[in-house]
Structure 1
Amino acid sequence: MGLGKTIQAIAFLAAVFEKDEESVESTTLKGNHVGKKGPVLIICPTSVIHNWEIEFSRWASFSVSLYHGTNRDLILETLKAGGVEILITSFDTYRIHGSILSEVDWEVVIVDEAHRLKNEKSKLYLACSEIKTRKRIGLTGTVMQNKIMELFNLLDWVAPGSLGSREHFREFYDEPLKHGQRSTAPESFVRKADKRKEHLVAVLRKYMLRRTKEETIGHLMMGKEDNVVFCSMSELQKRVYRSMLQLPDIQCLVNKDLPCSCGSPLKQVECCKRIVPDGIIWPYLHRDNPEGCDSCPYCLVLPCLVKLQQISNHLELIKPNPRDELDKQKKDAEFASAVFGPDVDLVGGNAQSENFMGLSDVKHCGKMQALEKLMFSWASRGDKILLFSYSVRMLDILEKFLIRKGYSFSRLDGSTPSNLRQSLVDDFNSSPSKQVFLISTRAGGLGLNLVSANRVVIFDPNWNPAQDLQAQDRSFRYGQKRHVVVFRLLAAGSFEELVYSRQVYKQQLSNIAVSGKIENRYFEGVQDCKEFQGELFGICNLFRDLSDELFTSKIIELHEKQGKGDGQCSTTKQELPQSGTCFLHPDQAASTTSSACETSDNGDPERITKRKPVLEELGILYTHRNEDIVNNGPGIRKNTEESIPGKDSVNDRPVKRRRKPDDAGGKRNDLSSKDWKKIQYSLLAQFMGMGELEFSNWVLSATPSERENVLRDYKKRKEKMPADG
């Protein structure tokens, strides 16, 4: 993401179509040179159509037309007459009118954001499968998002048959890799998974060119830190959350496999409890069908999860929306009254509030309490912040909060006209007074370059980890001059912990299948396997009450105890108060770190307790860095060359990258760029007489000139060391 896939694709086309300055003149003189090659089709999201058009005008001299909007018929006639070299269209347009375009013999077809082809049953996938061309290229920063089978779908579209049949891929790769990642998998399963992983990576190398920021522009970036922050829900939120879990609708789902109370040998879901006429959500869903639907009661899962997520983020979200139909408003008001119970007056009743002071108050929202203190710390040192949320109603509440606190901000959501979006981005990047950019994750997940921001907040997590990663990368792109720190806010004890745990699971599977990485085996659950649902999968896990336990931290700590046995874990709760200092103002961080370093668990209990409030003052129960949980290091690509079919071919030879010489004259051997940076970072911390954590706090608070002075002194000392030694 953000590495110039668009320009690289244009450069490739310019090369194969000989679109340099000299060939343009010869083409103009000869006239028939271009006719030797057919037209090129580019399918991309609607939001980046004009970006493709602009980049073509900058980098090559093609005749480009947009098959989008009202003039499609005219463009089609020009295309058939040979007057179009590049045709750009959107996913939606191609899904609807693909049958017309599939009649054309295309020279090359490029699909941008190709992960949209992950579902083989979607209309878009079926439409794209009918394209007439032998040269297909997919561009994506996230080749696999949720399941390993998505990887098959994408590769099978690009190179049909390259991975065998769908059933063969599932049995040979998908199942072994998933079961080998289970926390209690037998050693034989783990060994089998390792072999299949290496084999899959070797095959993928023939069809996939993969670049990362670390490998290409890592030396130009200041780095990124991805913090996952578990915020305590307010006491009122906890009561409402538990009240929702006791509703008949959810109890029907949780108890679906228990014996039916009527005395029959059937399960509840097969007998008397298939429908929930005494519920609140079910009757509205089936207002036109009192007997229920074919999916009952599973049709309740998504609506119930939406309500739980709303409670986790802000209680105002579960109240009726005036934009909805009257019947839905009436049902939502009934639902709000049921879950608020005796606390209904504390939240201003069961109708949507228009009270500015009430909506902007953080008293009953745990995430906003933490956000308020974090933003005060960041704003005091001149940081610029991106604040993402999936919910437009949540953006409305956050906007009132920003106004009340006096922050200067911009806002972009689905209602923002496309012709105004770039001006909003440019204004935020160029204006020192703009402190916050409030963005809808759906509208701003792609195509925005907001490199002036160095703090990114994801207010609500998504089931698909790629969505959150796309949002983070709006700031962490080429041109970023500062260290980017990401904060993903989760409601501790809510099902959002399960959402994040599944994100980790999916990211690990992607790393294993695509890059051949070795990942810690945290979870017992196996995706799409009823036998091993473990702690991650199944309806009962979704609607479990986690409010009395830190679900995520327990899983990670249990793994550390089993795997290491020495108690050393970078994410243990004992070390959290100290790690929490990076969330504070530099002055607070310095004093807190020093006091924490002076205490030990063997010391005075009164002194030990001074370490605990560091995160608690921010309303944070637990936090860790995502990169400490998910392996972001290099995979096994360089070790699989011998097992790749066809390596005798010149075109299949791996490209050897030149390594930069070490500053100290030593050899870097096979260390990755990231590992090398970690070593240098540790040496810098020692040079400053600090631990790595304390040094991180100093780096975040230091001015550019202070950092440059330290680097200069460090290099001088390294140059003198051989002579002194």
Structure 2
Amino acid sequence: MANNEKFEEVIIIDSDDDDLEVTHYATPTASNRFSGVKHGANTPIKSEQSRTLLSGSSSAVKIQPVDSDEEDANDGELAYKKFKERKSLKRKQTAAATRKAKIPRGDPIVGRIKKEKPTARPKRPLKQWGELSSEDELMENTLPGYLKTRRSQFDRRYEHLKDHGLKLPPTYENVDFSDDERLEELQERPVFPVNTRKQEYKDIELPYSMGIIPAPVAQWLRQYQVEGVAFLHELFVYQKGGVLGDDMGLGKTIQVIAFLTAVYGKTGDERDAKRMRKMRRSDDSTWYPRTLIVCPGTLISNWRAEFARWGWWHVESYHGENKDLALDAAKSGRVEILITTYTTYMNNKDAVNMIEWDCVIADECHKIKERKSGTTQSMNEINALCRIGLTGTAIQNKYEELWTLLNWTNPGVLGPVSTWRAQISEPLKIGQSHDATLSELSRARRTAKKLVENLLPQFFIRRMKSLIADQLPKKIDRVVFCPLTETQAEAYENFLDSDIVDYIKTSTEPCECGSNRKSGWCCRRLIPGRDPPTWQSYVFPAINVLQKLSNHLAILIPQGIDPKEKQEKDRDYLELALPEQWEDLYRSRDSIVNYANPEFCGKWKVLRKLLKWWHANGDKVLIFSHSVRLLKMLQMLFHHTSYNVSYLDGSMSLDDRTKAVDEFNADSRQFVFLISTKAGGVGLNITSANKVVVVDPNWNPSYDLQAQDRAYRIGQLRDVEVFRLISAGTIEEIVYARQIYKQQQANIGYNASSERRYFKGVQEKSDQKGEIFGLKNFFGYQNTNIVFRDIVNRTNVAESRAGVHVVDIDLKADEEGYDYDRPMKFEDEAMSQLAAMICGEDEKKDKPSANLPTPHKHDPVQAILASAGVEYTHLNNEVIGSSRVEEDLSRRAELAPNDTTGDRQVFMSSQPFSQPVGEPVRFKYHPPEGVIRRQFCSMARRFGYTDATEFALVVEGMTQAQRRACLDKWYRERREILLSADQNTPGEEWSKDETDPKEEMDVKDEWIKDEKGPESQDL
């Protein structure tokens, strides 16, 4: 076959629903070892198995020849200059075409007055031939010419030279090192304390990429890190891209340095300091790698420190005043590693891309998750074929973000984003709805498995913190739903009753004029007396106001240092929220009295009590907030206490941030560290703290998770407690629920896990807003009700009533394996634990189980929270994840035949007004309050309690798993009673219920007398 002929590879994903077509050129790549595909020296790189993405069938691959008359590429620098001049050339062509345009003729009649034509909407210009649509963005045909040239050169070289055309480590056979005569005396790196765990001292060969991790480095790597190094090095030698998506704290930086050690052919001793200089002097044509690292500015010093610890490297920073000198050194081959920031690269990309980088490392690469952002567009032009991304949060908000990251590493390989959206994003989102049908759930679970098992392993590798569980203490992630104060609640409701919010909430309702248009685009398009008048102008400001009111009322009070225009806007919002108090508050707007007012912040009542307890116990606390103003308010308050306080936000220089962290870690007297969530969520090691408080939830769950990992990481010696403070009934509950939704979507994308389906809403579906999407949900207030508790309870009941014979006992479903042959074993064990806890059996008193919940009255933290008015808390890890019931439902959905039953909702029995065909019993989720009380009293009696209040306290101390187990057993027994009702007399039916009517009335009377009765809703 001719050398100038190339292939186009068409990969068709075998799916029962639709075909997913992915096209890219059939260039050589490594067969991913993690998918079980190997290749030897003489084996074609692209095997049938590796070409199939989501399909396990090799028959899905079609290879078609495409003619090409491409000549040998010019020099890379000339190609780059041609790319730079493309816009100038296009402007010249447009100007020439305009000059040739025909000049319109004037009106031949003098004095005629032209009639004014009504202004028409300007026509959208027709797309010219060759112009890119939005779906073509970031595809391989949009790459700069210098990248296309480099790719074609590498492909031709590999085609002619096979393995010798790969990017193999430099050879030093002809290089003389004077140190070779004293190898035993050479110093090696890294050096760690003697008692540090290490592996056998020996080189580790990477057989699929012909690299070596030298013994001085290899001895300190764990097995999963060796696998990560092998994955990265294989990508490098074939000049492909990929993402190392390990969870935070697993040593992604160390894996990259070990990988680069293999790339440069280093040995981990003093000779490595001389390799670059000797190779440069040996021959001008000798290839020696050049690597660019792009990262957030806070991580530059961390990278430099790690390179110094793990070897001898020539590292420079392209950032700050002397950045041009560093770039000149890189151009002349006097730098091995050049480190820069995303902003610096974007502002100087033309200069940086003059160098042909052999590898680019994008640390925290979720910075380029947005397809249309300037950072992403600039990074797409980076002059490197091997692009490696590092992130622990590849999916933060939606599945399209994962496409953007993977497409950056291998442009065009996954096809356009529209294909990804139709074949992956949409099925996964729809199938995760609480109201999903059997067919939708089936398609979602099958799509997730194909994505995780067939597609991702070629470009993406991710491991979890469970791999280093033996090195980490425990972490408790507690979500605390704090009640608003009376003043806060009044201000919140007043603002919701304002004309601004009313216009926003009713904007999507049909207009009352009968025009069949939505009111927000008809008669209620403009808000009278407002400037600007359109309701759309107030959506985000109104959401911001609600978040401020949920957090601390004083944040809404204008500051004297703010610009006049901002003060006027804030004053208007303050007047809407507190029409009777706003004038007094505005006059004293900079007074510390407003900050310390306990009626302005329900969270402060909780936080103040917790801080007092922690200070007495010698703990150290990190307090995170995305509101810098709130942090400054807290800083001012703490200055009037005995607490020693540190502070960090985005306005501080990198050196000042590092200094603040070092001082807090070194000084045991420092008690509280106030940190901006965005500025301090990445790159900080603050293991001296063991308590973390997230004052306000962020729309992006990764910010809150990264904040926790500042303390919970390798090096932490104490158990870590995290407290997320959520204002109950407010918009913060919606924000937190959206976090749960996004975390679940990410887990599905990473692991194909069968996440519990809490929410009816589907992201970006206008007809499926559910409980957490849409403006009406944002602008509602539940007063004393806790929205998320109701959502969790509804799901518990729905799962218990689904008719599944597998009971969810342990949320960590896969830790000890699931024995499908003995599904009742888990139920028996859980119910025996529950019975022992409730009934207080004598033989169990001397052998307390570690799995039993701590009673509420014996937990000091729970006592503190209760004294502050907190009615509901839960552990985040109990909400995230799968359940036995959901796993069984998902498994059955995958195996279900494609018939008419596929249109039936999986949780049909939890829908209040539906009666499935063939279902003899219809359950109702919202029974009358009297029925709830009677059934709860029956449950108390069933589990051996005559006092419903005592049983309510026990229920409050249960975990989510134990509550679901209790509910499942109860509803199974009740179901048997109801189903047998047609065959038994009323007297016989009552005989099956262990609660005697008279005894039940006694229990009920006791229940009514007690004020803690409503806590049964937590069940």
Deviation per CA, 1:433-485, whole angstroms, max 9, x where unpaired? 11111111122111111111111000011000000001011000111011111
Structure-1 residue corresponding to 2:438: 187
From 328, 340, 343, the counterpart of 2:578: 340
2:38 matched residue in structure 1: none
Matching residue's letter, 2:266 = K
- 1:463-478 mapped onto 2 (5 Å cutoff): 463-478=699-714
> Is it true that 1:305 corresponds to 2:549 in the alignment?
no
Name the counterpart of 1:410. 646
CA 1:527–1:594 in 2, change beyond 3 Å: closer, same or farther?
Answer: closer
Distance 1:612 1:105, change over 3 A: closer
Say yes or no: does 1:204 pair with 2:456. yes
Structure 2 counterpart of 1:9, one-letter code: V
1:94 deviates by 1.2
CA distance in 1, matches of 2:527, 2:519: 11
Paired residues for 1:57-206 under 5 Å? 57-202=308-453, 203-206=455-458
Partner of 1:624: 874
Partner of 1:331: 569
Residue 289 of structure 1 is matched in structure 2 by: none
Asked if 1:14 corresponds to 2:257, the answer is no
Counterpart contact for 2:557–2:586, Cα < 8 Å: yes
Q: Alignment partner of 1:249: what SS?
A: helix
Conserved 8 A contact 2:313-2:337: yes
Q: Does 1:47 align with 2:285?
A: no
Contact between 1:360 and 1:400, CA under 8 Å: does it hold in 2? no
User: In the alignment, residue 72 of structure 1 is paired with which amino acid?
Assistant: K
User: Offset at 1:338?
Assistant: 2.6
Shift, 1:37, TM fit? 2.9
Q: Does the 8 Å contact 1:462/1:499 carry over to 2?
A: yes
- Is 1:374–2:610 an aligned residue pair? yes
Partners of 1:595 and 1:459 lie apart in 2 by: 24
Distance 1:534 1:569 in 2: 28
Deviation at residue 432 of structure 1 after TM alignment: 2.0
Structure 2 gap segments, 5+ residues each: 1-247, 812-833, 838-852, 888-953, 960-1019
Q: Could you tell me how far 1:264 is from its partner in structure 2?
A: 4.2
| Cα distance, 1:27 vs structure 2 | 5.4
Q: In the alignment, what sits opposite 1:601?
A: none
Moved more, 438-447 or 80-89: 80-89
Query: SS at the partner of 2:874?
Result: strand
Query: 2:732 & 2:655 partners in 1: Cα distance?
Result: 35
Structure 1 residues 28 and 335: CA distance shift in structure 2, 3 A: closer
Tell me the distance in 2 between the aligned counterparts of 1:694 and 1:430: 38
Q: For the residues of structure 2 that align with 1:464 and 1:352, how far apart are their CA atoms?
A: 35
Q: Which residue of 1 aligns with 2:631?
A: 395
Measured at CA, do residues 23 and 541 of structure 1 come closer, stay the same or move farther in structure 2, by a change above 3 Å? same
1:417-456 to structure 2, matched below 5 A, reads 417-456=653-692
Cα shift readout 1:592-644 (whole Å, capped 9, x = no counterpart): 966859xxxxxxxxxxxxx99874312212110010000289999xxxxxxxx
CA distance in 2, matches of 1:102, 1:241: 52
Residue 695 of structure 1 deviates from its aligned partner by 13
Distance 1:511 1:487 in 2: 22
Letter matched to residue 315 of structure 1: L
Residue in 2 that maps onto 1:646 = none
**Aligned-pair distance for 1:218?**
1.0
Task: Say whether the 8 Å CA contact 1:237–1:311 is kept in structure 2.
Answer: yes
- Say if 1:179 and 1:185, in contact at 8 Å, map to a contact too: yes
2:1004 matched residue in structure 1: none
Q: 1:87 to 1:58 in 2, by over 3 A?
A: same
Q: What is the match of residue 218 of structure 1?
A: 469
The alpha-carbon distance between structure 1 residues 632 and 48, as it changes in their structure 2 partners (threshold 3 A), is farther
Q: Kindly state the Cα deviation for residue 29 of structure 1 after the two structures are TM-superposed.
A: 4.6
1:685 corresponding residue in structure 2: none
Question: What CA distance in whole angstroms lies between the structure 2 residues aligned with 1:407 and 1:504?
Answer: 34
Distance of 2:560 and 2:507 partners within structure 1: 35
Task: Provide, for residues 177-222 of structure 1, a one-character-per-residue CA deviation record: whole Å limited to 9, x for no partner.
Answer: 001100010111111111100000021122122122211x210111
| TM-score after normalising by structure 1 | 0.77
The answer to whether the Cα contact below 8 Å between 1:570 and 1:628 also exists between their aligned partners in 2 is no
Supply the distance in 2 between the matched residues of 1:457 and 1:434 (Cα, whole angstroms).
Answer: 16
**Equivalent in the alignment of 1:723:** none
CA distance in 1, matches of 2:698, 2:310: 36
Moved more, 7-16 or 219-228: 7-16
Aligned AA (1:147): K
The alpha-carbon distance between structure 1 residues 375 and 569, as it changes in their structure 2 partners (threshold 3 A), is farther
| Aligned 8 A contact 1:495 1:546 in 2 | no
Structure number with higher relative contact order (C-alpha < 8 Å, ≥ 6 residues apart) = 1
Deviation at 1:358, TM superposition (A): 4.2
Q: Is 1:496 matched up with 2:728?
A: no
Q: Tell me the alpha carbon deviations over residues 678-698 of structure 1, each in whole angstroms, 9 at most, x when there is no partner.
A: xxxxxxxxxxxxx999999xx
Further displaced range: 252-261 or 497-506 = 252-261
Mapped to 1, the partners of 2:429 and 2:504 lie a distance apart of 27
Q: Does 2:795 align with 1:544? A: no
Contact 1:240–1:311 (CA<8 Å) still a contact in 2? yes
Contact 1:27 1:33 in 2 (8 A): no
Q: Structure 1 residue 46: deviation in Å?
A: 1.2
**3-state SS, counterpart of residue 617 of structure 2:** coil
Q: CA deviation at 1:32?
A: 3.5
The amino acid that maps onto 2:296 is P
Higher deviation after alignment, 234-243 or 559-568: 559-568
- C-alpha deviation, 1:263, in angstroms: 5.5
Whether the aligned pair in 1 keeps the contact of 2:755 and 2:883 (CA below 8 Å) is no
State the Cα distance separating 1:132 from its structure 2 match: 2.4
Distance 1:46 1:594, change over 3 A: closer
Contact 2:754 2:882 in 1 (8 A): no
| Contact kept? 1:316, 1:352, Cα under 8 Å | no
Q: Does 1:483 align with 2:733?
A: no
Looking at structure 1, the residues matched to 535 and 955 of structure 2 have their Cα atoms a distance apart, in angstroms, of: 52
Asked if 1:529 corresponds to 2:779, the answer is no
Q: SS of the counterpart of 1:489?
A: strand
State the shift of 1:425 in Å. 1.5
In structure 2, the residue corresponding to 1:134 is in which secondary structure? coil
Q: More displaced, 514-523 or 201-210?
A: 201-210
Q: Secondary structure at the match of 1:387?
A: strand
- Residue type of the alignment partner of 2:652: T
User: Unaligned regions of 5+ residues in structure 1, if any?
Assistant: 287-291, 579-591, 598-610, 637-690, 697-725
Q: Distance in 2 between matches of 1:406 and 1:113?
A: 38
Residue type of the alignment partner of 1:369: K
Flag the structure with higher helix content: 1
Corresponding residue SS for 1:404: coil
Residue 262 of structure 1 and its aligned partner are, at CA, apart by: 4.9
Find the residue that maps to 1:205 and give its secondary structure. Answer: helix
Q: Secondary structure of 2:619's partner?
A: coil
Shift of the 39–614 alpha-carbon distance from structure 1 to 2, 3 Å rule, reads closer
TM-score, structure 2 normalization:
0.55
Which residue matches 1:560?
Answer: 796
2: distance between equivalents of 1:169 and 1:396?
44
| Aligned 8 A contact 1:353 1:359 in 2 | no
Once the two structures are TM-superposed, the CA of residue 226 in structure 1 deviates from its matched residue by 0.8
SS in 2 for 1:619: coil
Instruction: Look up the SS of the partner of 1:424 in the other structure.
Output: helix
Deviation per CA, 1:205-247, whole angstroms, max 9, x where unpaired?
22122122211x2101112111111000001100000111111
Question: What SS does the aligned partner of 2:873 have?
Answer: strand
